[in-house]
């Protein structure tokens, strides 16, 4: 199949990121409303919706743009010389813009203020290590599937994110665009802007490190 033009790929990344953010934030709102104060039930609802949503969105938009929906993923493919730097920058802008629109969409659906000031505190070494683990696992799963089982990518990505909602102290943001979107909601999935900055730094640094780890792990020669 011929690669879609850059315009269609950017629209796919924008739409996918928008819908992903709406699913993450919207399912958090719905989960919290229905859980009656039981945080575990709310997190269960949030994690299942996010994992299932990722599978569907990757299947839908993957054939057009690769369904990154995540600047850390796009950065990794730039470093692997599989995405030109300029296009990677365009992807990141589309992902961030789409994710912010998705946060607004979630608020509109639930009759809430469209833009909110996040007050949820998420900071500390434990949470930063959790973000590093979540980001590294996500990228290793993607690289492994690209290498040996491309058809499994949607399911593997959905499952690893769902698992790390529970396995990591940070509940697996692993995505700078979604992290930014979560700063404009003061709901179940929120994060304060000052805490988000460190999360994003950890995510991007981990993405760079994981590219080199995967290259060594799979004995890949650097792309020319």
d(CA 206, CA 61): 25
Q: Is 223 a domain residue? A: no
Residue 94 maps to a domain:
yes
Query: What would the mean pLDDT of 66-86 be, rounded to a whole number?
Result: 98
Q: Which residue has the tokens 């938009």?
A: 61
CATH of the domain at 192: 1.20.1080.10
Query: Is 26 inside any structural domain?
Result: yes
Helical ranges in the chain per DSSP H: 6-35, 39-65, 71-79, 85-109, 125-148, 153-167, 176-181, 193-217
Residue range 25-42: mean pLDDT, rounded: 97
* Structure confidence by residue, pLDDT tens digits, 164-218: 999 999 999 999 999 999 999 999 999 999 999 999 999 999 999 999 999 999 8
Burial tier of 143 (Cβ tally within 10 Å: 0-12, 13-18, 19+): buried
| Cα separation, 144 vs 153, whole angstroms | 9
pTM of this structure? 0.94
Q: Using CA atoms, how far apart are residues 131 and 116, in angstroms rounded to an integer?
A: 24
Residues in the chain: 224
Give CA separation, 149 vs 102, 141, 143, 155, 168, in Å. Answer: 30, 10, 10, 11, 26
Residue 36: strand, helix, or coil: coil
Handedness of CA 114, 120, 121, 126 (dihedral sign): negative
Q: Please report whether residue 224 resides in a domain.
A: no
Is position 1 within any domain? Answer: no
Residue 131 within a domain: yes
Please tell me the total count of domains within the chain. Answer: 1
Residue 170 structural domain: 6-217
Contacts of 208 (CB under 8 A, 6+ apart): 75, 76, 79
Confirm whether 222 is domain-assigned.
Answer: no
What digits encode the pLDDT tens for the residues 85-113?
999 999 999 999 999 999 999 999 999 99
């Amino acid at each position: 199949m011929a690669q879609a033009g850059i315009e269609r790929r950017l629209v796919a990344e924008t739409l996918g990121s928008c819908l992903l953010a709406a699913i993450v934030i919207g399912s958090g709102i719905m989960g919290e409303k229905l859980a009656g104060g039981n945080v575990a039930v709310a997190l269960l609802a949030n994690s299942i919706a996010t994992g299932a949503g990722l599978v569907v969105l990757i299947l839908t938009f993957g054939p057009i743009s690769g369904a990154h929906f995540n600047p850390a993923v796009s950065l990794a493919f730039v470093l692997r010389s599989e995405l030109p730097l300029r296009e990677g920058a365009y992807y990141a802008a589309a992902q961030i813009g789409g994710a912010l629109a998705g946060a607004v969409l979630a608020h509109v659906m639930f009759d809430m203020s469209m833009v909110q000031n996040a007050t949820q505190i998420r900071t500390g070494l434990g949470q930063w290590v959790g973000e590093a683990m979540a980001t590294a696992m996500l990228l290793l799963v993607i690289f492994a599937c690209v290498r040996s089982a491309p058809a499994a990518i949607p399911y593997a990505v959905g499952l690893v994110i769902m698992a790390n909602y529970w396995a990591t102290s940070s509940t697996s943001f692993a995505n700078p665009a979604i992290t930014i979107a979560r700063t404009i909601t003061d709901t179940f999935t929120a994060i304060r802007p000052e805490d988000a900055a460190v999360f994003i730094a950890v995510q991007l640094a981990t993405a760079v490190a994981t590219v080199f780890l995967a290259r060594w792990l799979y004995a890949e020669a650097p792309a020319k």
